[in-house]
Structure 1
């Protein structure tokens, strides 16, 4: 069925967009940035320890306002007086981040907040007080001064906040902007269903497919070799620091290659299709360890570990996140359906049977004899379920019942 997204009246909408650039700080500025990031990390850990202690004693949280009051006292104490050297706003933002992390945990959107380590996600954020000098490719950061950055693209919108972060020895600044843009109408009328997989990164309902990148797999042996060398070095020695920095750069390369692949893929899909239907895959559950416990040990642990590594290497959640906001910007739409039985249902006659999929790649219906690639057949079922949701207005497409319950670890 053809599908067209239309809009009778185009109203302006607010768009939040971040622009990330590499900073080029001087030696003194870099020392200040490391000090400020360390202050935020120390404050996060101290506030988290106080929150856990208070909750264990009184079964209640302090909250942001109570922690902000404690911050004033900590700045005056002799042991923590160094916090006064950092800008007050970045310390307040660290406490707000902790408060948000607790709220996400109680809302079951994230895990319990954890203590931060030095050199892992070092960052601090300015909600105001910064000045952007785009013409001279520099930005003013309070208590640091003007810092030059690699100006690779034009910034659109009004800057709202900036985040300074350290990644593999390099400093970056992320400038979040806000601007009003007219609501878009997608130029295409194409509708597509996408089945995500390991052997094929994405299989489309029109028969096309995208090969996986396997960014981590390509560098896995080199990374393991460097990690074995690191284990033999004296911890915190000069050679240990150099080798650790080399491993961080390799991790950054892996992440950059994967992110580049995902951006190019999602941009291509969002430009060519007005409606995209995908499965609501629970990546966290799918990549859960099968090791079990001492009393009840798991089965096929090594095989499951390899599967988990491949799933996480694909970046399915990031693919969905990028595709969703790019479709929204272009006037398209994403429909998410439940993933149950899409690979065991015949797209030709609707028969549902686990025997329909004799192998990982082959689909052969036991009722009508229809044969196709298993991923392509699943993509057709995903597209049909997406049409049902779009046309009928159902919240979620209903999946048919199986003849018998699938065993744990069986193919979808």
Structure 2
């Protein structure tokens, strides 16, 4: 049964909110306490012991460890372990510019994480265990949640309670087992992710649909200019970043929903996407383009496709090695970077001429399924459809200072 992450709004009274925030504050103190003790160990011994046994020993000395559920405390412990393991892995690769895990801000409210136990979800009601040893005597809290309509799930596997400091609201993330619709389709499609072209989608019948990313670029470019005149991490800077995030997410939702609906209409059973892991580290286009590449929401886009595909009974695989797909001729197989004549044109001496992202999508399709969608053709894609989307009532503009509608329209 497919798993998706469901975002929900928490509706709780002021007393319950205060208890949840205190528990999240305790999680921050535990995280920072573990880091402090590990740093002291390094000063004394010249090494860091991140074994569970050692971290459990440290946990017994931390005063805030009884402020939230014991299994959630262990998940905080594992966060620290994973942070250090990632740091050690980067050092082993010689990437010395990465710093050791740092402390969380003293006012930061860390997520409360629950896996398998410690919580109960009954329709739109959540009950959380906070342990039996809190100083205020509160052992559990209960509150209502609301999420997107039309999602049916059988079981909640994981639950996280988070705090959004920009909106000032407590939110929930539920990893749920969903009921997928029956899908008897047999078709396949390959997707090449990009910047100017958000998605180039090559279907098995040779048709290709392009989803424009120009408005996403425009939004990010505009708000980047706005933030340049603001003090970093100020309240105003955070509000602008929040607005940009919401506008980009809205466009991604519109594009991915349209694409999944088109896949359902065409009888698609599987979507293949290039593996983006390591793409940011392995490419260097100069400071300006690198900054844009690192900020581009590839992972968010893939996650949207995965959970929307799961609801429609469509399998989304992002494990195709896309190395060389953008510079390889789809017809003759010649690998030549100069064949990419411009940002949007690929032209080979064999006569193959196509939009560059189309060429990449066709190569991903052939890599994954060992067959070309345009086999037997004269080297021309059967039909090319280009789609672009607008924000509608989401305007790309900076509201006046003090605009009370900033959050509501973000």
* TM-score normalised by length of structure 2: 0.69
- 1:125 Cα offset (Å): 1.9
Number of the residue aligned with 2:135:
none
Query: Counterpart of 1:61 in 2: which secondary structure?
Result: coil
Of 36, 51, 68, which aligns to 2:23?
36
Please list, as runs of the form range in 1=range in 2, the aligned pairs for 1:180-195 lying within 5 A after superposition: 186-195=183-192
- 1:68 Cα offset (Å): 2.4
Number of the residue aligned with 1:211:
212
Contact 2:21-2:109 within 8 A present in 1 as well? no
Please list, as runs of the form range in 1=range in 2, the aligned pairs for 1:79-118 lying within 5 A after superposition: 82-106=64-88, 113-117=101-105
> Does structure 1 residue 25 correspond to structure 2 residue 12?
yes
- Pair 1:92–1:204, CA change in 2 (3 A): closer
**Whole-Å separation in 2 of the counterparts to 1:86 and 1:97:** 16
Contact 1:163-1:175 within 8 A present in 2 as well? yes
- 1:157 Cα offset (Å): 1.9
- Pair 1:286–1:326, CA change in 2 (3 A): farther
- 1:55 Cα offset (Å): 4.3
> Does structure 1 residue 51 correspond to structure 2 residue 45?
no
Name the structure where strand makes up a greater proportion of residues.
Answer: 2
- Pair 1:322–1:222, CA change in 2 (3 A): closer
> Does structure 1 residue 253 correspond to structure 2 residue 254?
no
The number of aligned residues is: 344
- Pair 1:53–1:351, CA change in 2 (3 A): same
Of 150, 159, 163, which aligns to 1:162?
159
CA RMSD of aligned residues (A): 3.7
- 1:275 Cα offset (Å): 3.7
Q: Can you list the C-alpha shifts for 1:20-48, whole angstroms capped at 9, x where unaligned? A: 21012222222222222121112111212
**Whole-Å separation in 1 of the counterparts to 2:218 and 2:283:** 16
- Pair 1:220–1:63, CA change in 2 (3 A): same
- 1:61 Cα offset (Å): 1.2
Q: Can you list the C-alpha shifts for 1:283-323, whole angstroms capped at 9, x where unaligned? A: 322676x7xxxxxxxxxx5xx42x23443454223333444
Q: Can you list the C-alpha shifts for 1:313-337, whole angstroms capped at 9, x where unaligned? A: 5422333344456656725463744
**Whole-Å separation in 2 of the counterparts to 1:335 and 1:229:** 38
> Does structure 1 residue 384 correspond to structure 2 residue 384?
no
Number of the residue aligned with 2:54:
66
- 1:191 Cα offset (Å): 2.7
**Whole-Å separation in 2 of the counterparts to 1:130 and 1:94:** 17
> Does structure 1 residue 276 correspond to structure 2 residue 293?
no
Query: Counterpart of 1:97 in 2: which secondary structure?
Result: helix
Q: Can you list the C-alpha shifts for 1:355-410, whole angstroms capped at 9, x where unaligned? A: 322222222222x23322222222222222223299xxxxxxxxxxxxxxxxxxxx
> Does structure 1 residue 202 correspond to structure 2 residue 191?
no
**Whole-Å separation in 1 of the counterparts to 2:40 and 2:322:** 42
- 1:172 Cα offset (Å): 0.7
Q: Can you list the C-alpha shifts for 1:221-257, whole angstroms capped at 9, x where unaligned? A: 45654673556xxx9xxxx65x366346425524642
| Structure 1 stretch displaced more, 83-92 or 40-49 | 83-92
**Whole-Å separation in 2 of the counterparts to 1:362 and 1:315:** 24
Q: Which runs of 5+ in 2 are unaligned?
A: 130-137, 373-410
- 1:269 Cα offset (Å): 6.3
- Pair 1:287–1:250, CA change in 2 (3 A): farther
Q: Which runs of 5+ in 1 are unaligned?
A: 1-13, 76-81, 291-300, 391-412
**Whole-Å separation in 1 of the counterparts to 2:282 and 2:247:** 22
Of 328, 333, 342, which aligns to 1:345?
328
